[in-house]
Structure 1
Amino acid sequence: MSLDIGYGDVGASRARRGQRNHLAGSSAEEAVERHYLEAGHVALARRWRGKGGEIDLVFGDGFGGFVFVEVKTARDFDSALARITPRQVARIHRAAEEFLADCPAGRDSDTRFDAALVDGRGRIEIMEGALLGY
């Protein structure tokens, strides 16, 4: 005898929510990437993963330097920014060191760490250098 207490679709609901969040994140990353490309940056990597962690977007700045971008989405910019934790910033920096290890100037390369915030209406706010203050 089986007793259905109404929780059977919880896992499916969670999976749908996870898929929706994944698609929203991918869409936000694409929009942010277009923003940087229009500003003259060169796309180098998307969701670059090293032992230290993952970097959402990596760009060349056109002058031999690199821009590492963390993309966050939420209903408003403040909520998106609040989702970036000091621990996450540390992981991004470790991953960036791994990325730079294969570059000609290595860790001596000019770098910038940006937060790209996307609100519920699809608007983008770029906070250049925001991921250094942790």
Structure 2
Amino acid sequence: MEETPSSSSLAKNRRAAVGKAGEDVAARHLQRSGYVVKERNWRCRSGELDLVALDGETLVFVEVRSRSDPSRFGTAVEAITPRKCRQVREVAIHYLKQCQADFRPIRFDVVAVTFGKDGSVLEVKHLQGAF
């Protein structure tokens, strides 16, 4: 008998696919804006940094939020909570220590990507210095 995936695993796979697609859109947006993407999905025990980029001399930690149905779950920007901001800051400290990043200004940005039901990109919002 063939096993079928549960609805929760299908939803998890869909969320992961939307998240990956959002990160791809965000990385391209940053590159078109002149940023140099240094890292994607950098991980440590404390969590993950979606994107680490250079904007000139500034090291930018970028949190990417994606939504495919904002009417149901809220907008991508609304998904940035104080708890998430704290976690990104904590992971950024680990990044700076572990990667022995040279002294330079740092900034925390958010790129919020909204997809249509057909998968098309409806909106990309880049919030510099978001937190």
Name the CA distance, whole Å, in 1 between partners of 2:110 and 2:37.
16
Q: What whole-Å deviation, never above 9, does each CA across 1:80-119 have from its counterpart, x for those lacking one?
A: 12211111110100111111121122xxx21111111111
Taking the aligned partners of 1:52 and 1:93, their CA distance within structure 2 comes to 10
Deviation track 1:1-37 (CA, whole Å, cap 9, x = no partner) reads xxxxxxx97x611111111110111011001100101
Stretches of structure 1 lacking an aligned partner (at least 5 in a row): 1-7
1:99 and 2:95 aligned: yes
Paired letter, 1:23: A
How well do the aligned residues superpose, as a CA RMSD in angstroms? 1.9
Structure 2 unaligned blocks of 5 or more: none
Matched residue count: 119
- Between Structure 1 and Structure 2, the one with more helix by share is 1
Q: What SS is found at the alignment partner of 1:43? A: strand
Q: Which amino acid in the other structure matches residue 102 of structure 2? A: P
Quickly say closer, same or farther: Cα 1:41–1:86, change in 2 above 3 A: same
Shift of 1:51: 2.9
Secondary structure, counterpart of 2:56 in structure 1: coil
Residue from 77, 80, 87 that aligns with 1:81:
77
* Identity between Structure 1 and Structure 2 (%): 30
The equivalent residue for 1:90 is 86
Mapped pair 1:62 → 2:60: no
What's the TM-score once normalised by structure 2's chain length? 0.82
